[in-house]
Amino acid sequence: MSARIIDRVIGGAITTGVLEIVHADGSERRFGRPAPGWPDVRIRLADPKVARDIILSPRLGAAEAFMDERLLIERGDIMGLIQLIRGNAVWERRGAIGKAQPLRQALKTATASLNQLNHHRASKANVAHHYDIGNDLYRLMLDKDHMQYSCAYWPREGMNLDDAQEAKLAHIAAKLALKPGQEVLDIGCGWGGMAIYLARHTGARVTGITLSEEQLALAKERAEQAGVSDRVSFELVDYRDLPARGKRYDRIVSVGMFEHVGRPQFRHFFRACANLLSDNGVMLLHTIGRMGTPGATDAFTRKYIFPGGYIPALSETLAASEQFRLIATDIETLRMHYAFTLREWYARCMAHRGEIEAMYDPRFFRMWTFYLAGATAAFESGGMCNYQIQFARNRHALPLTRHYLATTESALLDAR
């Protein structure tokens, strides 16, 4: 019965590209048609429960079956399989506009919020789940110079990952409109790449904070190696604990951290930021976002990748910030940039498969590549994007037009 349901659903969904399914009983089905640039994938379901698990929880069921080698890919790879499924249901064309299901959405939102009650202890544990798995994996996957585990910026075709991450840092630095000697707070500083870049190229003094002990140790080491440890410091501290110290910052930057805050904490985040900014302060928030209405984190991501995380819609992000008189002075939507970034990370992981499996095990590698492939499809065909939102405390804190951004960005890239 489950196999027939899977065939019916897939048959109605896959029209472009080819997917062949070999069921546990040996029967085979072929869906779609060949098309230039589209994957041709063949999978085998090793036991009858695979189809049932996918029906009950599509993404988690498929992920765990793939991780446990109960869903075997005999032609193609996991990137191609997920691209086929998501690419045939592009977000822009999905369903009839206006067919909302308010009760179902309210229940999903309430359930998701319970999973995002990121109090201090839970926040640290959730960060450790993903970021304290060892720096060596990220060294293999990320760009060499800055170790940026966030969306790169691709202003022109033909760039490599290292150049695109350098371009991202210059893009954000321009939006911060920094002056030498200004104090910057980097919330969620990762391995220190942003803080080091800002200190080196703008003359700012930067304090980076993280909840990951692995990141903290390496960030300090990298700052020493870069010769900027006199202008950059790092701390293991929760952003919610900083306002009590009474210090204010000229600039705040936060890249790839807001996704971990959780919807119930949005107001706490923006209250803290507003209290930490000087009267003429400027903030740049870079976050993954939803192009549509608020939603819920899927079961696979919640269980294996980012427990406690939530991808915000632009509407709820701005609504939370408005309560604390933060002026949204510039909003940019990066649509395909993360898809390009994720494909680079996936390719690097595939190139280092043996090393990653030796660090962990083959099941971890399958889980990790499923995560990267699913995330890529979400940006290529689903409803995910990146938002860069510039905030100011004072309407006079920034130039009146956006011309300064291109000028500053070009100067930073020329000085590389």
Tens-of-pLDDT digits for all 416 residues of the chain? 688 899 998 888 999 999 999 999 999 999 999 999 999 999 999 999 999 999 999 999 999 999 999 999 999 999 999 999 999 999 998 554 555 445 445 545 544 555 555 566 666 666 766 766 889 999 999 999 999 999 999 999 889 999 999 999 999 999 999 999 999 999 999 999 999 999 999 999 999 999 999 999 999 999 999 999 999 999 999 999 999 999 999 999 999 999 999 999 999 999 999 999 999 999 999 999 999 999 999 999 999 999 999 999 999 999 999 999 999 999 999 999 999 999 999 999 999 999 999 999 999 999 999 999 999 999 999 999 999 999 999 999 999 999 999 999 999 999 87
2-89 carries CATH number 3.30.1050: yes
pLDDT at 239: 97
DSSP state of 241: G
Phi-psi region for residue 158, left (φ > 0), alpha (ψ -120 to 50) or beta? Answer: left
Chain region(s) in the chain for CATH 3.40.50.150: 114-414
Residue 365's alpha-carbon distances to 60, 141, 357, 358, 370, in angstroms, are: 16, 12, 6, 10, 8
Nearest to 66 by CA among 297, 304, 302, 296: 304
Residue 130 sits at the vertex; the CA angle it makes with 385 and 227, to the nearest 5 degrees, is 90
First and final C-alpha spacing in the chain: 61
| Cβ contacts of 298 within 8 Å, gap of 6 or more | 59, 60
CA dihedral sign of residues 243, 214, 171, 285: negative
Neighbours of 244 (CB within 10 A): 9
Q: Which fold has domain 114-414?
A: Rossmann fold (3.40.50)
Widest CA span in the chain? 70
Given a contact cutoff of 8 angstroms between Cβ atoms, the answer to whether 2 and 58 are in contact is no
Q: Given strand 327-334, what is the order of strands in its sheet?
A: 232-236, 205-210, 183-187, 249-255, 277-290, 384-392, 327-334
**Amino acid present at 140:** L
How big is the chain by its Cα radius of gyration, in Å? 22
Place of tokens 């033909």: 158
pLDDT at 103: 45
Nearest to 283 by CA among 273, 291, 292: 273
Provide the token pair at 320.
């939370």
| Cβ contacts of 106 within 8 Å, gap of 6 or more | none
Chain region(s) in the chain for CATH 3.30.1050: 2-89
| Cβ contacts of 228 within 8 Å, gap of 6 or more | 196, 199, 200
pLDDT at 134: 84
Q: Quick one: how far is CA 221 from the chain centroid?
A: 25
CA dihedral sign of residues 84, 86, 92, 96: positive
Nearest to 152 by CA among 172, 134, 135, 136: 172
**Amino acid present at 370:** F
Neighbours of 229 (CB within 10 A): 16
